[in-house]
Amino acid sequence: MNFLHHTPDWSSTPHEAWRDWQLKQLRDYLHHRVIPFSAHYKRMFGEQGMHPLDIKSFEDWSHVPFTSKKDLANPRDFVLVPDEAVLRREPGMIGTALVHGRAAAKEKAEAEFRPILLTSTTGRSSDPVPFLYTKQDLHNLDISGSRLMLAGRSQRDFKHINLFPYAPHLAFWLAHHAGLGFGTFMLSTGGGKTLGTEGNIKLIDKIQPDILIGMPTFIYHVLREAHETGRQWPQLKRLVLGGEKVADGLRARLRDLAAQLGSPDAHVMATYGFTEAKQAFPECVGESHEASGYHLSPDLGMVELIDPKTGELVPDGQPGEIVFTPLNARGTVVLRYRTGDIAEGGMTWEKCPNCGRTCPRLLGPISRVSEVRELHIDKLKGTLVNFNMLEHLLDDQKGIAAWQIELRKRHDDPHDTDEVHLHLTAEPGVRESELQLAVSRRFHEATEITPTGLHFHSLAELRDLLGIGRLLKEEKLVDHRPNAPTATGSVALSS
C-alpha cells in the first residue's frame, strides 16, 4: 500500500520534489502503519510525546531517537503486526470489501502483512537478528533488484550467474529477485559452499554468462583459478560485487583477470546494502570505469548522514555515518537505523556524471566506524589503528594476490601487548622479500606501527584461512585477542 499515488520518477525527479514527497510519505507511513502496528515504535513515540503528524520538517524528524543493533534484542517488537479493528476502518480496506467482498479484503491484508520470507544479519558480532518480509516487501525487492539491473545496463537476453551462497542473507535474495523483477535468466549456484570453486568454473564454462554476481573475494578467486587453468570467457560484460568493501586495487585486479580471460571491456560494478534496509544500492555503468557512487531509491527509503560522535546531521558532500529509514516496508521495520557505516565522500543529489540520473548517491569509499580499534603495542599507551584504511592499502598494493590481518596477544596472554600479523600470498613472479619490504613500509607509514610478523602462504592455504567456500563472508580481519572487540552493524555492501 502506497499512501500517495503520484510517486516521482526514480531516475529524473529533482532534489526539491523528492524531499517534499519523502516528508509527506514519511508522515503517512508512520501514522497509518508503523506507530499503530509496531510495539517498539508505538512505545517509543508515546514515551517521547510525539505524533507523526507533528513532523512538519526534516528538522522535526532529526529529533526522533536513533535505532541501533543493541535495540533489536527482541526482534518481534519491530515487526508490524496489524490490529484487525484498525485495519477494518482503513478506507482502502473498506473499498476492497465493498467492491470485491470480505475475502478479497482479507487476502489484501495478508499480502501486506503476513511474513513469508526471513533473512538475517550475519551474526559475526552478536546473535543473528531475523528480518521478516511480506509479499509487499518482496515486491519492493523486485523493484530494488530491477534498478540494480538498470544501473548496470543489463539486458533481458543476458545470462546472469549468482555466486552468492544459499543463505537467509540479503545479498543472495536480492540477486534472485533482480532476475525475477527484471525478467531475465538468473542461475544461482550457491557459491563455493555448494559447488566449490572448480564446480562454479565448470558451470560458467557451460552457461557462458554475460554477468557474474557475488562476493568480491570469491569472484576474484574464481577468475584467478579460471585463468590459471586456461579458461577463456570472452562473453563477460559485468562483474557485480556485494557483501564486502571493494578497494580500487581489487577492482583493477578483477578487470585485469577479466581481460586475461578474453573480456577486456568487462565493467566492475559494486553494490552497497545491509540487512536492515531490505535492499541494496548499485553503482552504475558508464563509458568510463570510474565509480560514481551508490544510487539510492528515495521512494523506498530515506538516507541521512550524521556525525558518528554527535549524531548531528552533516551537510551534503561531507562524510558521515549512514542512517536509514524505510518509507514503504512491512514485516520487520527499523526507523533512523544507525548502520555504523561511513560514506567517506558524503551524499549528493547532483546528476550522475555516468548515467545522468538525478537520484541521490552515496559517495564512497564506505568504511566501518568499528574498524578503528585501539591496539596496545607497548605497555604505556594505546594506538588507534584504522583498519578500513589498511584494508584499502593492502587491496591496492601491487604484488599481493590475497591477504588476511590477524590480531593476537603476545604469548596468548590477555594481559600482554597486542600483535598484528599479516598473512600474504604473492602474485606469480613477485619476490616475497621485495613484497615484505614494500608492505612493511606502507603499513608503518599508514599506522606508525610495524607489523609483528609477515607470513607468506600458498594461495590454497590463504583461501582456507579466509574461509572461501566455507564461510558466508571471507574473514579478512580476524581478532584472536581474548575479549576482542567485534564489528557491529550491517553488510557492506561493498558493502
pLDDT tens-digit series, residues 286-300: 887 788 899 999 999
Which range among 212-221, 288-297, 374-383 shows the weakest confidence by mean pLDDT? 374-383
Band (pLDDT 50/70/90 cuts) for residue 371 is low
pLDDT band at 380 (very low <50, low <70, confident <90, very high): very low
Across residues 293-321, what is the average pLDDT? 96
Least confident of 30-44, 80-94, 165-179: 80-94
pLDDT in tens, 4-35: 446 788 778 888 889 999 999 999 999 999 99
Please give the grid coordinates belonging to residue 370.
Answer: 568499528
Cα dihedral 336, 340, 342, 343 sign: negative
57-59-62 Cα angle (round to 5): 115
Q: Quote the DSSP letter at residue 33.
A: I
Which of 79-83, 355-359, 488-492 has the weakest average pLDDT? 488-492
The predicted model gives 79-102 an average pLDDT of 78
Residue spans of alpha helices (H) in 397-453: 432-447
Question: What span, in angstroms and rounded, lies between the C-alpha atoms of 412 and 414?
Answer: 6
Average pLDDT, the chain: 89
Which uninterrupted H or E stretch holds 250? helix 248-260
pLDDT value at residue 338: 97
Q: Report the SS3 class of residue 283.
A: coil
Could you give the CA distance from residue 442 to residue 162 in angstroms, rounded to a whole number?
Answer: 36
Lowest average pLDDT, out of 14-18, 37-41, 315-319, 333-337, goes to 14-18
Residue pLDDT, tens place only, 455-476: 999 998 998 999 887 777 788 8
Residue 332: beta bridge partners? Answer: 79
Domains of the chain: 371-479 (3.30.300.30)
- Percent pLDDT > 90 in the chain is 66
Q: What is the mean pLDDT of residues 439-450?
A: 85
What pLDDT sits at residue 391? 83
User: Among 20-29, 39-48, 82-91, where is mean pLDDT lowest?
Assistant: 82-91
Residue 384 is given by DSSP the state: E
154 Cβ contact list (under 8 Å, min separation 6): 160, 182, 184, 210, 211, 238
Residue 111 has pLDDT above 80, yes or no: yes
* Per-residue pLDDT at 311: 96
Q: What is the DSSP letter of 79?
A: B
Rounded Cα–Cα distance for residues 495 and 483 (Å):
26
Single-letter amino acid, residue 317: G
With cut-offs at 50, 70 and 90, classify the pLDDT of residue 370. Answer: low
Is 90 exceeded by the pLDDT of residue 315?
Answer: yes
- Whether 56 shows a pLDDT value over 90: the answer reads yes
- For residue 276, the tally of other CB atoms under 10 A from its CB is 26
